[in-house]
Amino acid sequence: MSARRVRVVITSPLEDEFLDRIRAVDPRLELDVPHDLLAEPRYPSDHPLPTLDGAQARERWEALLDEAEVLFDFGPLELAPTLAQRPKLRWIQATSSGVGRLVGRVGLRDSSVAVTTASGVHARPLAEFALLALLMFGKRTLELVADQRARRWQRHAGEELRGKTVCVVGLGKVGCEVARLARAFDMRVVGTVRAVRGRTAEELGVDRLEGPEGLDDLLGEADAVVLAAPDTSETRALLDARRLGLMKRDAVLVNVGRGSLVDERALVEALRSGHLRGAALDVFEREPLPPESPLWDLPNVFVSPHSASTVAQENARITGLFCANLRRYLDGEPLVNLLDPERGY
């Protein structure tokens, strides 16, 4: 075994127990944790960016990046465009999945630096959010909360998910988990992938599988549409006015993918006109959602502040993934969750 040291710089906050787990992977690892420069997490598993105050802080970061072979998270965005030029940097482990655009913006797309994503870590919490949203609209939860605040006791008939059709746009790890849970409720599940490439509906656990060209057709048969696709040039404004119009009257939209997938202005129109029953949105064209957005006030919209993927257990899972990848890195094996720069995720 070579005596070579591998410097790992941790650039977003991580609990001590997880830092210890990372150190325990191999004695060759040398962890740099610039505690004084990292921002305070605002909630468990928060990954805030460090903000470099003053020349001294910036200088220290520059020095850390110059020595780093591995980064946990991208570090300060102001220095990210310089990552491709760092002499020793070989690999960055991201803490989210859809980092393709960021990687392009900071010039890492064609560099030799490997980027691995947190793909899979957020599948369960996002799928739970999607099911929450489907159940909420079935059981008229937003109306009931409004009734409650007005002390109004108004009996009604709700709906069951059983027998309804949900269309999952993007049957990746998140989308397949949505499909699995939806089927536990006896929903019919249809969905799309970027490229079918010989995969079958059965393999992905759905009742009907289409490529992007089949989306228009699926929209017309779905009682609910769940967006679980990444932000790529192919998905931008995927759900525009025309496609929103193809959705069934009284259908529900859930977005746990990216805000860029939806033409928000057209969505507001479809929600106001009553064409759609409602929308549950965890992601938006602009985040934080601007105070002037009409989405805040629409009675049939549930706004979630891009937190549906965040659960207390997230850092434990990302650490597990990182440790497994460190092992592979040291052993010269291929990393898992390697970003595909072509696809962007």
Residues in contact with 231: Cβ distance below 8 Å, sequence separation at least 6, in sequence order: 98, 100, 101, 257, 258, 260, 261, 344
Using CA atoms, how far apart are residues 211 and 198, in angstroms rounded to an integer? Answer: 11
Q: Which is nearer to a copy of itself, 139 or 328 (CB)?
A: 139
Cβ at position 235, least distance to a copy of itself in Å: 23
Could you give phi then psi for residue 331, rounded to 5 degrees? -85, 0
Give the active site residue among 287, 327, 333, 343: 287
Q: Residue 270 and residue 241: Cα distance in Å, rounded?
A: 8
Between 136 and 189, CB nearer to a copy of itself: 136
Q: What is the nearest approach in angstroms of a copy of itself to the Cβ of residue 289?
A: 6
Q: Using the structure block, give the residue that is written with the tokens 């249809």.
A: 190
Catalytic residue among 86, 109, 188, 258: 258
Question: Smallest distance, Å, CB 224 to a copy of itself?
Answer: 14
Cα separation, 8 vs 326, in Å, equals 10
Of 7, 180, 306, 317, catalytic: 306
Our CB check for a copy of itself shows the closer of 8 and 281 to be 281
Q: What is the spatial distance between Cα 256 and Cα 307, in angstroms, rounded to a whole number?
A: 10
Whose Cβ is closer to a copy of itself: residue 142's or residue 201's?
Answer: 142
Please confirm, yes or no, whether 292 is among the known catalytic residues.
Answer: no
Is 287 among the catalytic positions? yes
CB of 58 or CB of 306, closer to a copy of itself: 306
Verify whether residue 258 is a known catalytic residue.
yes
Interface residue list for a copy of itself (CB under 8 A): 42-46, 124-125, 128-129, 131-132, 135-136, 138-139, 141-142, 144-145, 147-149, 151, 153-162, 180-181, 184-185, 287-289, 291, 296, 301-308, 310-314
- Shortest distance (Å) from residue 248 CB to a copy of itself: 16
Given a contact cutoff of 8 angstroms between Cβ atoms, the answer to whether 211 and 194 are in contact is yes
User: How many angstroms from the chain centroid is the CA of residue 245?
Assistant: 26
Neighbours of 273 (CB within 10 A): 9
Please report how the helices 141-149 and 123-138 are oriented relative to each other, as an axis angle in degrees rounded to 10. 60
Total residues belonging to the chain: 345
We find the least distance from the C-beta atom of residue 188 to a copy of itself, in angstroms, to be: 15
Catalytic machinery residues: 258, 287, 306
